[in-house]
Amino acid sequence: MSKIRSARRLLLPLAVAAVGCTSENSPQTNDSDVLQRGQAFVAIPRANGGNNESFYLAVSKKELDRRYFLSADMKQAYPGRAASSAVRSLGTRVVAFHEQDGKILVLDVQDGRTSKDAISVPVDPLQMVEAYPIVDDYAPFFHLAEHDHYVLFDPAAGIRRFGVAPDSYESQATSPLRLRVDLSYLQSFRSIHDGAAFEQVFAGTLNDASGAPRREPTVSGTLGIALRRYAEGENFRAANATGFSRPYFLRAEPLRAKNPGDMVRPVNEFRPVAKWNIHPGMKPIRWRISRPFVDLGTQYPKYDIVGAIQAGVENWNAVFGFKALEAHVASTPDAQTDDDENDVIYDNDPTYRFAFADSRVNPNTGEIRGASVYFNAVWLREAIERLDPQPGSSAPDSARVPQILPPALPITWGEFRPTPLCTLWAPGTGLPQNAATRVDPARAVEKFLTFITLHEIGHTLGLRHNFKGSLVPSPQQNSVMDYLDAEDVVAADRDHPGPYDDDAIRLLYGFSSSEPAQPFCTDDSVGVDPTCMAYDHTEDPLAKFWGPTYNGFLESVLRNQDPTGSFMRAIHRFYLTGLSGFLISGTSSDQARAWSQLDQLLAVGIDHTADNINYPGYTNRLSAYQNHLLHRLFFDPPNRPGSTARDLVLTGDALAAFTTSLKGVIVNGDRYRGWDTRRTAVDVLKKMQVQAAYDALLAARASLAASRPKPGDDATGGEATRTDDLIAWIDSVTHPYYK
């Protein structure tokens, strides 16, 4: 309060910004009698403020306890790799302002919290979103006419419950690390036709869970806050998530509680899915294409970049049968996620290698009130390098394997935290297929940019991923809501919504009562259903995609043709996961086919004499990789990124082939296996705890004992002693075998 009291005696000319009933965005005004206009919110500059910065906020007493939408965006954040354009929505709440005990309380009044028309008394502390101190001694404000119809408060001095989520994909129940705010001020107040928006700049010190400072404790950012009068679209028809047999659609944010158990809605209660108020005769939803896309067109005149992005928005109109969406270039160069606009944002910093979508949703009804799409520079660069390489250039490794960088840790604000609808990493994956040669390369680049936009706009329309959208004979694709490689997009001509997308949208918006007939799965099934994977394709991805691509990369590794290690990283992070999914969750037949692919280059009995001559050290690398593979399949730490370790339960032909293969490794039937790999094979058979594995160990022991070098046959004695050690190790794991 010291700063507030120090201004008590100051009588200064005021530049006041107000909002409430205007029909257009309103600039600041020098009218000192602006309070007489009955505006809902008025920005009152501080003594040291000016130029629309550093202000208090006055709220009309008529607006207290009335419902508003409160939307929050993290517009800038440090530390982090994103440029300033990487705005992340933190969500939307239905709130009311309530005066109590010298504070303006911001309370969550979502349906189910309290009455629609009144604040519960006493106030439930679990409803608390923020609490701002009332400023009762700022003389310049109290000399304004009609000041007694307003309450002045300081949004820069609230509870300020900023934090940092411990990881980027934390559950809503995870408590973030708390941020001690050392600096906070407001800027950029602006009025919009039904509310107000402003920004809070903050900086502080981050402590770990024990309260001790972290190695890099400084955190800062810019929080965008928008207040809009609560309203529901005329004739909007909400849709209930429980009314569909499959989770095709994005859900509105659930009712939240700070106690354990986020979902406090009864099981049978209405659970809205997210959708716009789209209907025939409507005024089209306008999307702004940020002006940097225009600059790109000047830099790359060969491509119609703005047209490609516009098509990614407007090609959805064919699904509706009328013009529901329209896209235009923004009139200002710095437009980014204003609450009363929908933006496709271009970020020229390529280090944040993904695209994502955010939407602002009424949590009561599921009605989408606004959205944004973030588009990173890397997409254009990779599209050109892969689909239209320039003379003398070659596609870099980054264009052939996924480059998964750990995202910056997200900043939270109380219960507001980032929940992007999609995080689509760039570039795509897979070996180049030269699909661009079948069409004009420039048009191929444009098609891929259109696809990325289509995918993200699909999320803002309410669609979840469909990772079975590519389970059709190539080059067909059923859905833009799958993750598709650049070459697959071009080959399938997928620059418009697919059959699944058409059916799902028509169902969501009430133009059809039939659910999609095409295969469907979404994020919930990734890791459970092996055919539910991103970037795969064909009607048989195990045999036609995962296996051939995995072994193509592995062959380069074994031949020592992977100097940067990028192919090995691709195997680690992506292709091994795809194949191992069929070992973990596939049918008995799929398990056998998956092991056949994994063992294709590693199987005992293949003659690698020529490989060793042509690629010295080939079999040494083979043994080392086999050891690595067995560890990944059976002994990966569960918290390791991309972990494939599970308690595999192999059956039928898969079990027989696997145990036979490992028996051959233990006895070193082709003389290519190192001792560490052989011992790992013993450990794996021990862990399996099935009769076939036990029998394989006993058979391997008998073979080793029978073939042990006799005195004089082993000049160094090393082979005999190591064989004895391996036999002893088998004895130790088989007596007893079953745990």
Is residue 247 domain-resident?
Answer: no
Is residue 295 domain-resident?
Answer: yes
Is residue 246 domain-resident?
Answer: no
The region that residue 397 occupies, defined by phi over 0 for left and psi between -120 and 50 for alpha, beta otherwise, is: alpha
Is residue 124 domain-resident?
Answer: yes
Q: What is the pLDDT of residues 538-584, one digit of tens each?
A: 999 999 999 999 999 999 999 999 888 888 888 877 899 899 999 98
Are 509 and 567 part of one and the same domain? no
Are 209 and 296 part of one and the same domain? no
Are 447 and 583 part of one and the same domain? no
Cβ-proximal residues to 422 (8 Å cutoff; 6+ apart), any chain: 355, 356, 357, 455, 456, 459, 465
* Terminal C-alpha separation, the chain: 67
Is residue 59 domain-resident?
Answer: yes
Last residue within a domain, chosen from 231, 254, 277:
231
Contact 36, 16 (CB under 8 A): no
Are 359 and 467 part of one and the same domain? yes
Whichever domain contains 466, its CATH number is 3.40.390.10
Are 518 and 561 part of one and the same domain? no
Residue 241's alpha-carbon distances to 155, 235, 249, 465, 517, in angstroms, are 37, 19, 8, 16, 18
Distance (Å, whole) CA 1 – CA 4: 5
Distance (Å, whole) CA 47 – CA 24: 28
Are 549 and 663 part of one and the same domain? yes
Is residue 204 domain-resident?
Answer: yes
Q: 3-state SS of the chain: helix, strand, coil percent to 5?
A: 35, 20, 45
Are 475 and 565 part of one and the same domain? no
Distance (Å, whole) CA 640 – CA 632: 10
Instruction: Report the percentage of the chain scoring pLDDT > 90.
Output: 55
Q: CA-CA-CA-CA torsion for 253, 259, 261, 266, nearest 10 degrees?
A: -70
pLDDT tier at 15 (50, 70, 90 boundaries)? very low
Of the two residues 338 and 662, the one the predictor is more confident about is 662
Are 32 and 89 part of one and the same domain? yes
Are 302 and 375 part of one and the same domain? yes
Number of domains present in the structure of the chain = 3
Are 135 and 195 part of one and the same domain? yes
Q: What is the pLDDT of residues 474-498, one digit of tens each?
A: 899 999 999 998 888 999 999 999 9
Are 517 and 556 part of one and the same domain? no
Last residue within a domain, chosen from 473, 493, 525:
525
Last residue within a domain, chosen from 470, 495, 525:
525
In which domain, by residue range, is 36 found? Answer: 2-231
CA atoms within 13 A on the CB side of 689: 7
Stated as kind and residue range, the H or E segment containing 609 is helix 609-614
How much is the pTM? 0.86
Q: What is the pLDDT of residues 66-90, one digit of tens each?
A: 999 999 998 888 765 444 446 788 8
Are 612 and 680 part of one and the same domain? yes
**Strand partners for 41:** 19, 59
Distance (Å, whole) CA 189 – CA 28: 9
Of the two residues 110 and 608, the one the predictor is more confident about is 608
Q: What is the DSSP string of 649-670?
A: ---HHHHHHHHHHHHHHHHTTT
**pLDDT above 70: residue 2:** no
Contact 470, 488 (CB under 8 A): yes
* 509 three-state secondary structure: coil
**What's the confidence (pLDDT) of residue 702?**
97
Q: Which of 371-380, 587-596, 652-661 has the lowest mean pLDDT?
A: 371-380
Is residue 252 domain-resident?
Answer: no
Is residue 274 domain-resident?
Answer: no
Residue 344's alpha-carbon distances to 224, 371, 456, 657, in angstroms, are 17, 9, 10, 52
Distance (Å, whole) CA 312 – CA 293: 13
